[in-house]
Structures are given as structure tokens and as C-alpha cells.
Amino acid sequence: MEKHVDNLISKDELLKILEDRFNQNISRHPNIKWVEIVPLLENNPERINSLSYLEASNGEPDVAVINGQLVYVDFSEESPKGRRSLCYDKDARVNRKKFPPTSSICEVCDQWQVELLTEDDYHALQEIQAVDLKTSSWLFTPDNIRQLGGAIFGDRRYDTTFIYHNGADSYYASRGFRAKLILK
């Protein structure tokens, strides 16, 4: 699957959307000013492309400090609609015996030049804003779990963040992924 998103947003339109979201959600980044973010984006076409994919797939990316890194991260209330029904990685997709999905989350993250959230990132995101109250999101899976055929995902229920496991080749209409783009 090529990029998993068809309609990318122009740079000017994207910057306007990101600035509006930034200003409407100051609590996500209380000690950061928009004028600090603009230079990190304006002359960086790779970052603009990555953010265009996150936005076009309904991720609602916004600035936050996650585990000491200044990042754009997906703040959509539920797992982004444009990134669901994907298994964990290419190996899981290729080796699935019946009905393989069109792509995998790891392949899409590589194409978009973004990083999948780790378990620690996901917990930090949930501290900033409760997400995945009805859906779930795949998370970066440690090698020891992945080598045994598994992958991990998280969600939030009962005002608590849960981390679970599933076969890496599974995929669901209610499970997508959240990503981050590291700014510094």
C-alpha cells in the first residue's frame, strides 16, 4: 500500500491547521511558544510530509514533550481512522495465511518517516490527554515479544491505561496506531 493516505495537505494549509490546534490546546505544551516550532518545520520538507500524513489520516498531531523529547504526537480522541485494520509488521503481513491486510503499521511508519509510540510514550500521552477510550493503538513491541509472534497495544478504560498483547498478524477495524515525529 502506497503511503496509506491519498489526499495530502499543502504546506500552507498544514501550518495553519497546526498553528490553530497549537493555540487551542496550550495545556498540551504550556511552556512552548508557536514561534519556537515554526523554524523546526518551515524549511524541512521531510517533516512537513510526515505531518501531512499524520494529519490526512486523522491523527490530529500536536506538539508535546513526551519523555524529554519535543515531538508532534497524535492527539485524536480515538485511534486515527485512516490507520486502522493493519497488522504489526511486514513479516506478520506476509506470513498471514488468510486475508492479509494491505499493509502494516511498521511499514507505514517507515514510509511516513515517523516513529511508533513506545509503551512509555503511550503512558506519557495518556497523562496529557485521555485517548483510545473506545479503540486501541498498536505500540512499538520489544524484540523478545515480537520474536515469539506477539505485539503489544494499548487503550484506556476505567480511567486506566492498559497494555495488552495480540498476535502480530492480527488486525481490527478498531485498532490503529499513534506516531510521533521528533522535533528535538
Tell me the pLDDT tens digit for each residue of 32-69: 999 999 999 988 999 999 999 999 999 999 999 999 99
36 and 149 Cβ atoms separated by less than 8 Å: no
Q: How far is CA 149 from the centre of its chain?
A: 22
Asked if the model's pLDDT at residue 130 lies above 90, the reply is yes
Residue 4 reports pLDDT greater than 60: no
CA distance 165 to 155: 11
Rounded to 5 degrees, φ, ψ at 154 are -135, 160
Is 150:142 a contact under the CB 8 Å cutoff?
no
Sign of the Cα torsion 67, 73, 76, 78 reads: negative
Greatest Cα pair distance, the chain, in angstroms, is 51
Q: Give the residues across from 160 on adjacent strands.
A: 157
Please give the model's pTM, rounded to 2 decimal places: 0.93
Could you tell me the strand order of the sheet in which 175-177 lies?
160-167, 150-157, 136-139, 175-177
CA neighbor of 22 nearest in space, from 11, 12, 36, 42: 36
Position 124 pLDDT exceeds 60 = yes
